[in-house]
Each structure stands twice: as C-alpha cells, then as structure tokens.
Structure 1
Amino acid sequence: MRQPYYDSILLIERLHRHFLEVLKIELDRLGMQDINNVQSLILYNIGDDELTVGELTARGYYLGSNVSYNVKKMHENGYLTQERSTHDRRSVRVRLSDKGLKLRDRISELFSRQVDALDKSGLSAEELTRANETMRTLERFWTSSLSYGAYASSGPL
C-alpha cells in the first residue's frame, strides 16, 4: 500500500502541474501576457460569482496569501473588479470584469475542446467518474487527518 499511496501523491501533483502548463500554452496562444496560468484558473473558478478572497480560498483550496496577491494583480490588469462590502468595510468582494469574462469564456472553450479530444481518445466518462471518486476518497482521508490528527506521526520527524 505504501508505494501506490506515494505514487498517487506524485501523480496528483504532476497532473496539476501539467494542467497549469496546458493553461499557460493557451494563454500564450491567445497572446495574453498580463495574466498567468494560476491566475487564469482562479479567474475561471470565480465564474459569474461575486466572492471575498476568503470565500475564494475556501472554494478553490488556494493559499490565502497567494490568492490575495493574484487577486490584486488581476485587478490591476483589468480582469477583476473589487468592491468593499457595505456591511464589513474590511471585506472586499471581487467579480470578473468584461475582460475577465471574455477570458473565462476562452478557457471554457479550451475545456470544451479538451472534452471532445478526451471523448475521442478512448477515456470514458465512467473512467473519469471512478478516478474522481477515488480522489474524493483520498481528499476525505486527508481532510480527516487534518481535522482530527488521527493519522499524525507518533513522534518528531
């Protein structure tokens, strides 16, 4: 079990890096140099919603300080609009600007092309569903490990 578990950890990380590289190539193809792949993924995940940085962090599982920096850069480059909450002046809500919405639509088109290509590659929706179920089980395992310390080491590293 140790080796398959370790292999899964490495594969998840590698898949994420490959996906970010796919986004980078698409941004390069579109001639967009004022946003990076991580920012474009955050932008895509905001979608039509209006969120605080905290909500975005909770929803997308991004690191808070990185989200704050990336939100600031996307705002500076015109992809996001920001508005202070009327109820809590410390809280800033962000949403996509017209420029952000256009990029979100382009990323959505990329995903559609990828889905079509996956369909033709022989990878079925059922296989992806099973893989997602396995990853969700692993996510629940890691979440419970964090929440309860149930699997914490018995001593110092």
Structure 2
Amino acid sequence: MIQKLLHEGVEVETSIDGFAAADFPEISADNKKAKPANHAVVVTHFELARMIERVNRRFAGVLRNEMTKLGIEDVGPAQAMVLLAIGDVELSVGELLDRGHYVGSNISYYLKQLADGGYIDRVASQRDKRSARIRLTEKGEQLCADLRNAGGTYNRLLARDAEDLRNLEIAFQTLHRLELVWGNATRYGL
C-alpha cells in the first residue's frame, strides 16, 4: 500500500521508534534522491522487530480463537505452533529448535505438555538413548489439519487477487532475508 501511495504522489510520513524521518537527514536525503520529493519513509531494524512481535502476538490471538472454536483447551497457541513446525516428519529436538524461535527450556516444557495431552510421541533414539525423536500422533495431526483448514479463511482475506499474492510473497521473502541477516549477525557479528 505504501508503494501504491508513493506512486500516486501522496505524501507518506512515517515516525519510527519515536523519531521522524527529518531526524535522520542522511537517510532522508538518500530517500529524496531515490523517490520523488516530500516522501520520506524510515524503517529501522528495531521497528521491524517490534512489528514482527506485534504480528506474532496477533497471530497467537487468532490461533487461540480457532482453538477455542475447536474445543481445544489443553494446549495454547505456542504449543500449536510447535505442532505445525513438526508437521508430518519425525525429528529431534535440535531439528525442531532450528525450525522455530524457541528457547531451549520453553521447548522442553511445550513438548512435555504436548506429550501429556497425547499430541506427540517421543521415541528414544536407537543410537543415543539421551536424545529423542518427536512425531505427531493422530490427535496432533488432526489439530494441525483443523488449524490449516481454518487458516484458509484468513488466506482468502489476505490474498484476494494476484497482486495480493505477490505482496505476500514479497513480505515472506523480506522476512526471510531479515532472518538470514540477523541470524548471521548473531553468529558472526557485523
């Protein structure tokens, strides 16, 4: 939408982290060279992180509502996301950690709740009895299928036409790039 507004010549002024674009003359100057005059959009990594956090909280609320409709009260949205991350494969806890943004102690707690609720099976590894492989039970598979079906409604709201689909692809690609950049910065520094 911002791109559409910029192309139509509507001024868009964005305040980020409590600062206006005018507070960043070097960025504002670069934006004026790249875009028509009087258009300044400044987005920092902090603002992106805050937006991602807010979107994640909103999505957790959507999951909570859908699970309430399904009569699921023994697990929450975070545990449902773990189930969706496991999917139809059998994997180790380490592999699961790579698929999500879980803290080690949280994932242990989530997996215990899911095992107690009958959503996953934990099978001790044949090679190393200290590690376990995790897979969904029928109950876990059914919850994932129900949540995916409910997600279809939201997909139709977000992707009404080819342009909406393309915008979702761009958003996904951008978030993926952020994940890679921030992950590499964490591992290797700047």
TM-score range, shorter chain: 0.7 to 0.9
Secondary structure of the equivalent of 1:35? Answer: coil
Task: Name the CA distance, whole Å, in 1 between partners of 2:117 and 2:179.
Answer: 34
Higher-Rg structure is 2
Over 3 Å counting, the alpha-carbon distance change for 1:20 and 1:122 in structure 2 is farther
Matching of residue 63 in structure 1 with residue 63 in structure 2: no
Match in the other structure for 2:82: 42
**1:15-39 Cα distance to aligned partner (Å, 9 max, x none):** 0111111000111111111111100
Alignment counterpart, residue 61 of structure 2, candidates 18, 21, 25: 21
Secondary structure of the equivalent of 1:124? Answer: helix
- Percent of paired sites with the same residue: 35
Q: CA deviation at 1:106?
A: 0.4
TM-score of the two chains, using structure 2 as the length reference? 0.73
Task: Name the CA distance, whole Å, in 1 between partners of 2:63 and 2:103.
Answer: 19
Q: Trace 1:1-157 onto structure 2 (pairs within 5 A).
A: 4-5=43-44, 6-120=46-160, 124-150=164-190
TM-score of the two chains, using structure 1 as the length reference? 0.88
- Shift >3 Å, 4+ stretches: 120-123
Q: CA deviation at 1:65?
A: 1.3
**1:16-73 Cα distance to aligned partner (Å, 9 max, x none):** 1111110001111111111111001110111111111111011223212111110011
Q: CA deviation at 1:122?
A: 8.7
In structure 1, stretches of 5+ residues that fail to align are 151-157
What amino acid maps onto 2:142 in structure 1?
Answer: K
Task: Name the CA distance, whole Å, in 1 between partners of 2:163 and 2:155.
Answer: 10
What amino acid maps onto 1:4 in structure 2?
Answer: V
In structure 2, stretches of 5+ residues that fail to align are 1-26, 28-41
**1:57-98 Cα distance to aligned partner (Å, 9 max, x none):** 112232121111100110001111111011110111111111
Over 3 Å counting, the alpha-carbon distance change for 1:47 and 1:57 in structure 2 is same
Secondary structure of the equivalent of 2:160? Answer: helix
Contact 1:53 1:64 in 2 (8 A): no
The structure showing larger relative contact order (alpha-carbon pairs under 8 Å, at least 6 residues apart) is 1
Query: How many residues in Structure 1 have an aligned counterpart in Structure 2?
Result: 150
Contact 1:80 1:96 in 2 (8 A): yes
